[in-house]
Amino acid sequence: MDELTRHFTLKEMTRSSVAVRQGIPNDPDADVIQNLRLLCVHILEPLRQRLGMPVFINSGYRSEALNLLVGGSGGSQHLTGEAADIEVDYVKPSAVCQIIVDAGLPFDQLIEEFGEWTHVSYSRKHRREKLRAVKKDGVTWYEKVEDFR
């Protein structure tokens, strides 16, 4: 079945226009699908219900070839289906991050990325790591933050 939770499907968690344009397969195995389901159950669906509005997936699962092509980290949780980059219409990424924190959702890593989108992951690590990604002289830096206000 394609439905991972009420509001999230496997198709949207694996969709990639880059993969389509480049002819790169982006097909997850059973372990990745289970991780995507856990991410949706524990983070994305509760966030969607709390907001009462859609949460858009910019990037969910990435195959190794796709991750390499988009410049993702070799240790990216997108590779295991544990992470998604998300946006919510009319809600700043910093506010989305703070809502996730305030709701007590069990994220592993939460990153406000360049003021443009939110990266959120769920895994057994439960690091509760809060970061802000910024560009300095063309290089990406990750700064630890206490909150996103």
Mean of all residue pLDDT scores within the chain: 96
Q: Where are the domains of the chain?
A: 10-144
- Phi first, then psi: what are they for 83, rounded to 5°? -135, 155
Q: Is the pLDDT of residue 92 over 70?
A: yes
Cα separation of 54 and 38, whole Å?
A: 18
Q: What percent of the chain is predicted at pLDDT more than 90?
A: 96
Q: pLDDT tens for residues 100-122?
A: 999 999 999 999 999 999 999 99
The whole model's pTM is what? 0.95
Structure-token pair, residue 45: 């669906």
The fold for domain 10-144 equals Muramoyl-pentapeptide Carboxypeptidase; domain 2 (3.30.1380)
pLDDT at 7: 97
54-81: burial string, b at 16+ Cβ within 10 Å, e else: ebebebbbbbeebbebeebeeebbbbbb
Could you tell me which residues come within 8 angstroms of residue 75 by beta carbon, excluding any fewer than 6 positions away? none
Q: pLDDT tens for residues 33-51?
A: 999 999 999 999 999 999 9
